[in-house]
Amino acid sequence: MTFDSWLFFMVIWIAVSIPLGPNALNCISATAAFGFKRGLWSVAGVFIAANIHMGLALTGIATFMNTNPEIFEILRWVGVGYLAWMGVSMLRSKGKMEIAKKTNTYSRSRLVRRAILISMSNPKAIFVWLAVFSQFINTTTPLGAQLIVLAPSALVVTIAVYTGYCALGLAVNRIFAGARKRWFDRIAGATYLVFAFGLASADLRRS
């Protein structure tokens, strides 16, 4: 892979990683609730899920899912249910859970698990990995040598982008401090419900 091709890949991957989605919202809300250092455990969960998505895409599971709509639909509705549950939970919190209290109730492993579940709730992510990677893989050269460059590059971008969203969570914490916390929970909860509705109504295999 030439430097120009790698640079173009990086630009494309940054472009598909930046838009606000459930992962980004989770990183923002985790940092706003628990602080930056603990919020970074959400990034760890996103990183683990990204490796799973990449592995599934590169081993052909995405193609299998695309040709077996029943399996895809099951995964899609599981994702819809989880995102909707997240949304309702935040709407019901009413901003009463302060940082000091929530830090004691949410372990690092729980934040990692929540990030993984949120990331895995959207099966479209597998197709994103497949779609982008397929544009830069040369079938006439060994696949392994290309993945040694592409995979770490994509994962570094993923970590950087979601670390940035955690940093944004610090600003959110200051803006929505105290009684205003309930407004952030309402906005975040409503946004999760929008994501759930979008996942329920979209034909992700064709989007």
Per-residue pLDDT tens for 9-53?
999 999 888 888 889 999 998 998 888 999 999 999 999 999 999
- Amino acid at position 141, single letter: T
User: Which residue ranges make up each domain of the chain?
Assistant: 38-201
Is residue 205 predicted with pLDDT exceeding 60? no
66 Cβ partners below 8 Å, 6+ apart?
72, 127, 205
CB-based contact 93:185 (threshold 8 Å): yes
Higher pLDDT, 29 or 99: 29
| C-alpha dihedral (88, 89, 91, 97), degrees to nearest 10 | 180
